[in-house]
Structure 1
Amino acid sequence: MRKSNRAAAGAAAWQAVQHSNRPGTPGVGERVAALPRMLGSRLRGRYDGLTVPRLLMFLLAVAYVASPIDLVPELFVPLLGLADDVGVAVWLATSLMGETERFLHWEQREGHVQGRVVG
């Protein structure tokens, strides 16, 4: 993906993130900080809210957005070539927003604070 397309996809994803941040929900910084804890909890088998197929979809989306190879090249269909990148980036951002919110609620229910169990 060209740099300009990455920038457009990133800007669209950021707009989606900003619009999905509702009052009373965790902020973007809190969600980003929760990502490594969520992955670690999933890999250790403690958190089963993130399914393996969903995790694979996230990894594929990251690889697609970062990859210079596009499913729909901009050379042939410029607008559609950009739209697929933006669409994947927006899906990834909004899906991660929802997934991290569920994880943060799970941490609260389970009594976890910053990845440690509160006794």
Structure 2
Amino acid sequence: MDKTLKRTAAFKALFQALTAGSRGGPPLGKRLAALPRMIRATTRGEYDGGLRLAMMTAATAYVLSPIDFAPELMLMLFGLADDALMVTWLAGAVLAETERYLAWEARRESVIPGGVVT
């Protein structure tokens, strides 16, 4: 019974994190919709997420690469554990960075464009 309650609580926390953010942040759909805008703003040099975006790209390439398939064949448990760790980090990084980007985007929209007159 105790394990079932813990498992239920874990799924409930995961569901809340995916739908509304664990700290009251934006829902998952809004975060995922912001990804292309975040990538575009980063490549234009408007947003400072270049290093984080590169790390997320490298993590995705590592998990999907055929080179990583060899440890899974030889060391089944270790090979899957390193992928699970990488996917967990990647999911957390995407959630954190999209929340940061959406906050940056909201601050940027509240600024009135103009120049200084001397």
Cα distance in 1, alignment partners of residues 35 and 86 from structure 2 = 19
Once the two structures are TM-superposed, the CA of residue 84 in structure 1 deviates from its matched residue by: 0.6
The answer for unaligned runs of 5 or more in structure 1 is 1-15
Answer whether contact 1:31 1:97 (CA < 8 A) is retained. yes
More off after superposition, 59-68 vs 88-97: 59-68
> Residue 95 of structure 2 aligns with which residue?
97
> Residue 82 of structure 1 aligns with which residue?
80
Structure of higher RCO (CA pairs closer than 8 Å, 6+ residues apart): 1
Q: Tell me which protein shows more helix as a share of its residues.
A: 2
Residue identity in the other structure for 1:68: P
> Residue 73 of structure 1 aligns with which residue?
71
TM-score for the superposition, normalised by structure 2: 0.71
Residue identity in the other structure for 1:33: A
Residue identity in the other structure for 2:36: P
Identity of aligned residues (%): 48
> Residue 7 of structure 2 aligns with which residue?
none
Correspondence 1:106 to 2:104: yes
> Residue 36 of structure 2 aligns with which residue?
36
- Give the total of aligned pairs: 99
Change (3 A) 1:86 1:37: same
TM-score for the superposition, normalised by structure 1: 0.71
| Runs of 4+ residues over 3 Å off in structure 1 | 16-20
**CA-based RMSD:** 2.7
Which structure: larger Rg?
Answer: 2
Cα distance in 2, alignment partners of residues 41 and 101 from structure 1 = 15
The answer for unaligned runs of 5 or more in structure 2 is 1-12, 114-118
Change (3 A) 1:72 1:95: farther
